[in-house]
Amino acid sequence: MDVLNKLFEKHFHTAPERIQPLQGDLGGSGRKIIRFFRGNQSAIGVLYGVREENAAFLAFSRHFRRHGLPVPEIYEEDLDRGAYLEEDLGDTTLFDFLSVNRSGESIAAPVVEYYRKVVAELPRFQIEAGRDLDYSVCYPRGRFDRQSIDWDLNYFKYYFLRLAAIHFNEQDLEDDFDRLTDLLLAAPGDYFLYRDFQSRNIMLRGAQPYFVDYQGGRKGALQYDIASLLFDAKADLPPDLRQQLLNDYLDALRTHIKLDRDAFLSYYYAFVYVRIMQALGAYGFRGFYERKPHFLQSVPYALKNIRWLLHHAKLPIELPTLMSAFQNMLASEKLQRLTPASHPQSQKLVVRIFSFSFHHDLPKDDTGNGGGYIFDARGLPNPGREERFKQLTGKDAPVIDYLNQQEGVHQYLASAISLIEASVASYQQRGFKNLMVSFGCTGGQHRSVFLAEHLAKRLRGQSGIEVEVRHLEMEKIGR
């Protein structure tokens, strides 16, 4: 503490009047972070014993500021004693601002605007400032290379899969890891990789986001950092917003480099997976191994992201053992019991509603709850038999009007909704987290889609419920 006092005096030519510790055992880094005050002046002091990491942060900070990037100014440093003094950027992180300005899947416009500013700044770090950066100061590696990837994947394997008691064949998993690593390393990798580009490392001051905690940066691929931000577990961004922000990022990239969008996306989801695995390894190490349970509160959100990826993201390679491990994670009773208590959506019942065709397999339940309700709508009048409806779906107004005119449809819905709402009330009372409801018809295009949309509309907005809808046959034809 004395060294930080001296650094404050050296910079401000006066002693601090008071101090405020900012980070205790909740952090995973081991840093001591303290705010110093004198009148209307303040600064952040940091004590940390890893010289190489401190040196990387200080060198990167000065380099980024020379490029006009919004990072904290370094006031003073004493590397020999593991101390430095930096600009005070306030207390509000992007994650904090997001948490108090959302209602379920609905995120306030000012939050979205901050995210858009953040993704617009990211290429400036990766490309503009990355071109002449001194990568010799990077710690512990100068590049996101095969060894870096091996560390992350083994972190996930031994500290998450093993400690969560998820079964896997070790050799087969290693073979999948090798294939995944080959794919990751095939992506162009001569850019600055921030490494921990997520909502808690972005400070908000006025209308400007500021960036911190880039000391683990190194050379690597562009996809890693945008994947880290958009699939940041506890931020829990809705899929539509993730896609919007990814498009904004790609537009920003085009102002810096010639971009082949398809080539970029061919690697993107592989980086999403590896980033999620790296984070899960950290949660497992801190939570299962070090027995700090608050780290495990992020696991349900990471599992939610994995569930979405398994349904929506197609990799250009086959990774059967890894995908099986993910499925086992989603079905794990041990992991299902983890409660994300600090998230505003943590106590919600997720009702997952599907439409499908009986010509194909039934919707698969990957929550471990057994499948929920399956309703057969083939006994209802079929719009698909009339030529005027054949190219339409149950989301189109003519089909909706047709089915609304059928008395049997209303009787069917009333009976189904009565059963579903009784289960919803019971599930909420008993603390269950997932309910699955599926509507099937012959083609999976008209009746089942109409029923699924009707139920979703009824349940949306009810207290304590989050609704997810998927139309499996429409997804196959891109509608």
Length of the chain: 479
b/e sequence 331-347, b meaning 16+ C-beta within 10 Å: ebeebbebbbeebebee
The answer for residues whose C-beta is within 8 angstroms of residue 302's C-beta and 6 or more apart is 233, 276, 279, 280, 283
Residue 478, C-beta contacts closer than 8 angstroms, at least 6 positions apart:
none
Where do the H-state alpha helices sit in 313-406? 320-331, 333-336, 397-404
CA 351, CA 468: separation in Å to the nearest integer? 6
Cα separation of 281 and 285, whole Å?
6
Q: Give the global pTM.
A: 0.73
Reported confidence tier of residue 211, pLDDT bands at 50, 70, 90: very high
Section 299-324 average pLDDT: 96
Question: Is the pLDDT reported for residue 470 higher than 60?
Answer: yes
Mean pLDDT of 221-250: 96
346 versus 429: the higher-pLDDT residue is: 429
CATH for 94-336 (1.20.58.220, 3.90.1200.10, 1.10.10.10, 3.40.50.740): 3.90.1200.10
- Whether the CB-CB separation of 241 and 118 falls below 8 Å is answered with no
- Give the whole-angstrom CA distance, residue 229 versus residue 225: 6
- Predicted pLDDT of residue 327: 95
**Cis, bond preceding 340 (omega within 30 deg of 0):** no
Residues 6+ apart with CB under 8 A from 196: 213, 214, 216, 228
User: In the prediction, which pLDDT does 409 show?
Assistant: 93
Rounded CA-CA distance 14/285 in Å is 42
The partner residues of 53 in beta bridges, in order of sequence, read none
Instruction: Provide CB contacts within 8 A for 464, sequence distance 6+.
Output: 347, 348, 349, 428
Give the max Cα distance, the chain: 84
Q: Please, which residues have CB within 8 angstroms of residue 44's CB and are 6 or more apart in sequence? A: 22, 33, 34, 35, 36, 72, 85, 86, 87, 88, 89
Q: Is the pLDDT of residue 24 over 90?
A: no
β-partners of residue 281 are none
pLDDT value for 433:
80
pLDDT at position 428 is: 77
Residue 479 banded pLDDT, cuts 50, 70, 90: low
Q: What angle do CA 15, 19, 24 make, to 5 degrees?
A: 145
**What does DSSP assign to residue 388?**
G
Assess contact for 284 and 163: CB atoms under 8 A. yes
What is the distance, to the nearest Å, from the Cα of residue 416 to the centroid of all Cα atoms in its chain? 34
Cα 205 to Cα 94, 208, 245, 288, 307, distances in angstroms: 10, 6, 21, 36, 35
Cβ-contact 3, 85 below 8 angstroms:
no
- For domain 2-86, give the CATH superfamily: Phosphorylase Kinase; domain 1 (3.30.200.20)
For residue 306, is pLDDT > 60?
yes
Q: Which of 35-44, 142-151, 260-269, 470-479 has the lowest mean pLDDT?
A: 470-479
- Here the tokens at position 280 are 């899960």
pLDDT in tens, 26-43: 455 678 999 999 999 999
For the record, the structure tokens of 140 come out as 């512990």
- Please give the Cα distance from 115 to 450 (Å, whole number): 34
Tens of pLDDT, residues 372-421: 899 999 999 999 999 999 999 999 999 999 999 998 998 999 889 888 98
Q: Give the pLDDT confidence score for residue 269 in this predicted structure.
A: 98
Q: What is the pLDDT of residue 295?
A: 87
337 pLDDT band (50/70/90 cuts)?
A: confident
* Domain boundaries, given as residue ranges, for the chain: 2-86, 94-336, 349-476
* Separation CA 158–CA 181 (nearest Å): 18
Lowest mean pLDDT among 65-79, 137-151, 281-295: 281-295
